[in-house]
Chains A and B, each alone.
Chain A
Amino acid sequence: MKNLDRYGYYFIAPFWIIFLVFNIYPVALTLYYSFTNYNGSGTSEVVGFANYARLITDSYFLEAFVNTWKIWGINFALQIAIALILAAIFSDLRVKMKGLSFFRAIFYLPNLITVSSVALLFGILLDWQHGSLNLVLLNLGLISEPINWLNEPATAQLSVSLILTWMWFGHSFIVVMAGVSGISRDYYEAALIDGANRWQTFSKITLPLLKPILLYIMITSLIGGLQLFDLPMLLTDGIGSPEGSLNTMVLYLYNQAFKYNNYGYAAAVAYGLFIITVIFSAIVFKSMYRDQKKQARQV
């Protein structure tokens, strides 16, 4: 049987050939730029680690780091909570909710629109004086003064988080449901017969068996979240107003590269972000797998 393992290489070969050419080569080129003062055109000099030295003392990058985490964190907590609640509702054999495919399709709709249209739409909705959101809140008597959502750091960040949640909870829901559908019904039926309540069923069967899928959601959302930039860019002036609160790491990278033409430095920012992402992904992996081991011991 052992000789069959060479098939492993055959199976992954096409992926790696294409990956090497179309992904790794451009990325390697960026690595080279990060050691130069390339400004987007003309010649450049190699400057060693100067760009990286600048990066670790750059307070704007630190600010962007903190902002990105705040915006992504709130969004992720909400998004995953909604997705799990929905999954719990639809996988509950006792309630037997109908219309899964209908709701799943509708909830996913916000993800179909391009980000630029989303930004346009919410720009109108959140408008300080004439936006529908303030009008509704005023009429309901929830607020007495219109809130200038995109002019205060806290509300601006919260707005972006909530828009992201709106865009992505349907996506997470679909992925979670795909995972749930992979869980054999026998488990649930057995749980029913044993008289387990909803919470027990969910926390003892669904969650543990969903772990690989949840890991996937965590990692991809983390990677996507740390690369957040188009929404903050389009909602305000594109350089992170108000008071730099929407300045995210990739927005900063983008502005350094394409607005200020500091390609070399932008490449260093890209690699700084890369290292941060790797570190936090590793932490997520570690903690998820440690949990799994713990659980295995408990059982």
Chain B
Amino acid sequence: MKKIMGFVMSLVVLIGVLAGCSDSESSSGSGDAKGEKKVDLKIWSFTDELKKPIKKFEEKNGVKVELTIVPIADYPTKLKPVLDSGVGAPDVFTGEIAFLKQWVDAGYWENLSADPYNADKISDKYIPYVFDLGKDSEGNVRALSWQTTPGGIYYKRSIAKEVLGTDNPDEVGEMLSSMDKVFEVAEKMKEKGYRMFPDEGAIRWFSQGDNPQAWVNENNDLKLTDQKIEFMDYAKKLRKNNYTALAGEWSPSWFEAMDKPIKVKENGKETETQVFSYVLPTWGLHSVLKTNVKESAGDWAVTNGPSPYFWGGTWLGVYNKSKNKELAYDFVKMMTQDDEFLTDWAKETGDVLSYLPVTSKIKDDFSDEFLGGQNNYKFFLDQAKKIEPGIVTKYDQQLDTLYGNAVKDYVDGKKTKDEAVKEFYRQAKNAYPELNVPKK
């Protein structure tokens, strides 16, 4: 009994102490805020990529900037209420491609086409598709980006030499310039005991074939092109002919196969094999391959696939209720239009820029040790210019996922092609009731 009373007493004391504590906490907290240097600019993003640029910006302008990082999965959840209400909101915030198209139309970003920004005047200085993506449905610029994220096929030079007789990116690229050619190479790889890709999902970026079209047109019609349906068969063929190592994207075996031979089961027998190539964009080199590959560094190269594509990308814009728009746009300007800064940035990080005045100056001096000295910069810029602008919609992220599942069900043999397509239509309609879906 004494023990219990003792505990109750200590609880009561604790409550008192805490009440006192939290009181002094809040008052001293606000005191600190006043005592500290005032924050001039608040920036929110989902990576710490901007950390260094912010430091530079602070030094240059003699201001204090506060960077808040929110993990990408929670980024929209955190941002939405803040932007709706304006309380505690950032002055500048970034947007990832996954939700970019929603946000440009949500009315959170300042209209940069208007005075005093007049961003349209500089449109021809950018890779077309990158500039185009930052526009809202009325054609006003809402966000800009300093980078471009086209993709290619990264492959191992030693295997290319052995199987294809050359490791030259141009020649290998020629051998991969159409889906049929890709399968020819895949067959050759298989004969020598290699696997073309880690998994079937790898070729999804080429699914639009030679007929790139937006998922949804201006009449809200869902467009599943013949090429995209054909893609189902390509994926199935990859599986059926054992052209892949069955190592799903981002799975442990997917990473493992980059650097080492991996074991694959085939017709009940376990065999060891190596994966020839990975389909990844610009950032795949720095944040995927380089961080996971040790032994085969230098044995890689990058080349084109059957069609150009891009994957990812970060845009940034000014919050339209910001009280400090001028300074905010200064930061956006530094990130996207400052020759000196961008030159340093590109050289330091290897980031492929979308700002042409800088890229045309620096593109010729690049070479990457990891890629055996290849100038990947030039390659990616060429790819970026080939990307069709104007086919990205706010539906893409989810529709791609839904269609990917449909393809997977077909490849796994769980559904017939018709069933898979039908199910895709049904799911698309369920997610977006406003879409017009063919009634097959």
Residues of A within 8 A of B (CB): 40-42, 54, 58, 60, 124, 127-131, 145-146, 151, 237, 239, 241, 243, 255-256, 258-262, 265
Contacts and interface: CB of A to CB of B under 8 A. Distances in A.
B266 to A, nearest CB: 12
A137 B84 CA distance: 52
Dominant secondary structure of chain A at its interface with chain B:
loop
Given A40-B80, A129-B253, A258-B76, A237 B433 contact: no
Nearest to A236: B405
Interface residues on B, range: 20 to 34
A129 B275 CA distance: 15
Contacts of B262: 129
Contacts of A259: 398, 431
B431 A260 contact: yes
Nearest to A127: B252
B409 to A, nearest CB: 7
A195 B263 CA distance: 62
A130 B253 contact: yes
Contact of A151 (B252, B401, B412, B432): B412
A19 to B, nearest CB: 20
A239 B405 contact: yes
A252 B76 CA distance: 18
Interface string B78-108: 0010001000000000000000001000110
Contacts of A262: 431, 433
A124 B252 contact: yes
B405 A60 contact: no
Contacts of A237: 401, 405
Give the residue among B247, B251, B427 with the most A Cβ atoms within 10 A: B251
B404 to A, nearest CB: 8
Contact of A60 (B102, B246, B265, B430): B430
Dominant secondary structure of chain B at its interface with chain A:
helix
Nearest to A144: B268
23 contacts: A41-B80, A41-B107, A54-B433, A58-B430, A127-B251, A128-B246, A129-B246, A129-B253, A129-B262, A130-B256, A131-B252, A145-B268, A146-B265, A151-B412, A237-B401, A241-B405, A243-B414, A255-B431, A256-B431, A258-B76, A258-B77, A260-B398, A265-B433
B392 interface: no
Interface string B412-440: 10100000000000010011110000000
B236 to A, nearest CB: 16
B119 interface: no
Given A124-B252, A128-B251, 11 more contacts: A40-B80, A60-B430, A129-B253, A129-B262, A145-B265, A237-B401, A239-B401, A258-B77, A259-B398, A259-B431, A262-B431
A64 to B, nearest CB: 11
B63 interface: no
Contacts of A54: 433
A146 B402 CA distance: 27
